[in-house]
Amino acid sequence: MTERLYYSDSYRLSFDATVVRSDENDQVHHTVLDRTAFYPTSGGQLHDTGHLGAAPIIDVIDLNGEIVHVSTNPVGQPGDLVEGKIDEARRRRFRQMHTAQHLLSQMVERHCGLPTLSVHLGESYGAIELPGNSIDELSLAAAFDASNLAIAQNTVVSTRFLTPDEAAALPLRKGPSNHDQIRVIQIGEIDYSACGGTHCRSTAEIGLIAHLDTRPQRGNSLVRWLAGDMARDDYWQRLSITRELANELSTSVDHLLSVVSQRLEEATQLRRDKSRLLSELMSSRVTDVVEHRRESASGTWVATEAGDFSGKLTSAFASTIAEAIGGIALVYDGTRVTVASRHDSLSAQGLITELCARSAWRGGGSDSLGNIGPVKPGSWPEFQAIVAELLAGGAS
């Protein structure tokens, strides 16, 4: 069993210890010490990072009471004395999140009448899983408000080791596993929980707990939130984004929502206008192009350039022309030729295959629509000449 220094002091960031065991597997080193301040991933809380000597610690595992430090560099041999250093910012974030979680779970019990089924304290957010898939949003908001009030009141958080009998006398929200000594985290008179994690000395250190969202999970609800440094960093990020957006839209943050909503309405109207104008333009151009249709032994065909049309509109343009002439339409966009066919016996794919056989073009498609290319701008007249020759020969 490794002595856990973080049990009695969640603020301890450096320590000396003796290597008890060291193994190497696939260039990953596993080191067990006689004692450690490194917190191993457990109870929903992620592990600490830091250094043992010069070796960065990338993972910490609780293996049947032994704490295993994982590193890519060797730490030392059994009997060696090593110095451990914990990454301070990460430890502080988890202390804040874990204490915030105790408070929130207590307040959710009081305001929503729901127990916490599981806890996630990760690198980008904290979460508690609550039973059922319909959490009352007002009650949840009240639980967050009550948690923030307890944070602002600078409530003392204490850690005590009790016997099972002593612990049984407390109104524990979260009961202990079977141990002779039970570690109880007490937040003022607000919450008592048996817990092995790292916590703050006072709720004031949390600063803020903010609701992110509530998502469905396994038929239950996952309430995601941010606390402490993570909530503050998130606040600055959101502030910077809203300021930048406000600047882009030449307004203030206060008026951002109404300005964005107005711009979205304008954009919808512009899209409708554009679609109507393009449709009118297409009708007019189709009429014009159809007048220049050519007759051949293989049927009616026409070749034209895409002009203002691009992407899907080029395909629609080609298809509309083919429909109007009951034959083949070829529309060039400067790179490729879109081929549409409404011919009785010559499909778009059939024509593309024959054209590819005559030059280095590549292409494909369906009976009614396809593409062929690349056709360089200077080669477009030559391309049309080849099509004319092919269709004059009675291709089908």
Which residues, listed in sequence order, are joined to residue 3 by a DSSP beta bridge?
A: 35
Q: Of the two residues 67 and 316, which places its CB atom closer to Zn ion in the complex?
A: 67
Q: Of the two residues 103 and 195, which places its CB atom closer to Zn ion in the complex?
A: 195
Structure token pair of residue 281: 């333009």
Q: Of the two residues 173 and 294, which places its CB atom closer to Zn ion in the complex?
A: 173
Please check whether residue 87 is in contact with residue 198, taking contact to mean a CB–CB distance below 8 angstroms: no
Structure token pair of residue 226: 């941010």
Q: How far is the CB of 174 from Zn ion (least distance, A)?
A: 8
Please check whether residue 211 is in contact with residue 140, taking contact to mean a CB–CB distance below 8 angstroms: yes
Closest CB to Zn ion: residue number: 195
Q: Of the two residues 198 and 338, which places its CB atom closer to Zn ion in the complex?
A: 198
Query: Which residue spans within 122-166 are E strands per DSSP?
Result: 126-130, 157-162
Q: How far is the CB of 185 from Zn ion (least distance, A)?
A: 5
Binding of Zn ion by 313 (CB under 5 A): no
Q: How far is the CB of 127 from Zn ion (least distance, A)?
A: 14
Q: How far is the CB of 119 from Zn ion (least distance, A)?
A: 8
Q: How far is the CB of 116 from Zn ion (least distance, A)?
A: 11
Q: Provide the residue count of the chain.
A: 396
- Tell me the window of 91-99, 131-139, 148-156, 243-251 that interacts with Zn ion (CB under 5 A): 91-99
Q: Of the two residues 155 and 368, which places its CB atom closer to Zn ion in the complex?
A: 155
Residues in contact with Zn ion, counted by CB under 5 A, come to a total of 3
What is the distance between the alpha carbons of residues 64 and 240, in angstroms, rounded to a whole number? 46
Amino acid at 65: G
Q: Of the two residues 150 and 330, which places its CB atom closer to Zn ion in the complex?
A: 150
Footprint of Zn ion on 24-53 (CB under 5 A): none
Please check whether residue 208 is in contact with residue 232, taking contact to mean a CB–CB distance below 8 angstroms: yes
Q: Of the two residues 157 and 348, which places its CB atom closer to Zn ion in the complex?
A: 157
Q: How far is the CB of 195 from Zn ion (least distance, A)?
A: 3
Contact with Zn ion (CB under 5 A) among 29, 92, 98, 174: 98
What is the distance between the alpha carbons of residues 44 and 62, in angstroms, rounded to a whole number? 13
Q: At what angle do helices 380-392 and 348-358 cross, to 10 degrees?
A: 110
What is the distance between the alpha carbons of residues 74 and 175, in angstroms, rounded to a whole number? 39
Neighbours of 268 (CB within 10 A): 10
Please check whether residue 44 is in contact with residue 60, taking contact to mean a CB–CB distance below 8 angstroms: no
Q: How far is the CB of 121 from Zn ion (least distance, A)?
A: 9
Footprint of Zn ion on 182-211 (CB under 5 A): 195, 197
Q: Which residues bind Zn ion (CB under 5 A)?
A: 98, 195, 197
